[in-house]
Amino acid sequence: MSQGHTDVTVQAGPLDHICPLNELLDRISGKWAIGILTLVGDRGPIRFTELERGVRGISRRMLTLTLRNLERDGLLVRTVHPTVPPKVEYSLTPEARELAAILADLTDWALRHRPQVARARAEYDARAQAERER
């Protein structure tokens, strides 16, 4: 599964900080991109306000910015219906649908391992605390 994928080390060309890992990170990092992609994937074509309600805690500004970036990268399609009041819908491009599937796996992983991670964190903090008191 993790067989054929690329080497992170990429044999030392001086230009190789163009590593695709960082490009990927620029795409899905930020607090909101994954959540938005997931939601758009689940709810099909979805309106701005629906997204705003669906992604808990996001501000109008960050929703707009994240949508623009995803659109710019060719992951989202923005469709404007010239009605009044305006109606704008967002949907995934085919490539983004592939990505959304992987992100679903990620979310699944997070769900399954949530308790273990919480426990590990508590133990680590407890040990760190104990050492500080020695």
Q: Which residues pair with 92 in a beta bridge?
A: 76
Radius of gyration of the chain (CA): 20
| Contact residue for its own copies among 74, 79, 81, 87 (CB under 8 A) | 74
Backbone angles phi, psi at 92, to 5 degrees: -80, 145
- As a whole number of angstroms, the distance between CA 78 and CA 58 comes to 19
- CB-nearer residue toward DNA: 51 or 99: 51
> Least Å distance between CB 121 and its own copies?
6
Question: Between 5 and 134, whose beta carbon lies closer to DNA?
Answer: 5
Residue 79 near which of its own copies, DNA, none (CB within 5-8 Å, type-dependent): none
DSSP 16: G
Residue 53, interface with DNA (CB under 7 A)?
Answer: no
State yes or no: residue 91 binds its own copies (CB under 8 A): no
Angle at Cα 35 formed by Cα 31 and Cα 37, nearest 5°? 120
Write the binding mask 92 to 111 for DNA: x where contact by CB under 7 A, - elsewhere: --------------------
- Helix, strand or coil for residue 79? strand
Which chain residues interact with DNA by CB under 7 A? 1-6, 29-32, 47-50, 57-62, 64, 66-68, 78, 85-89
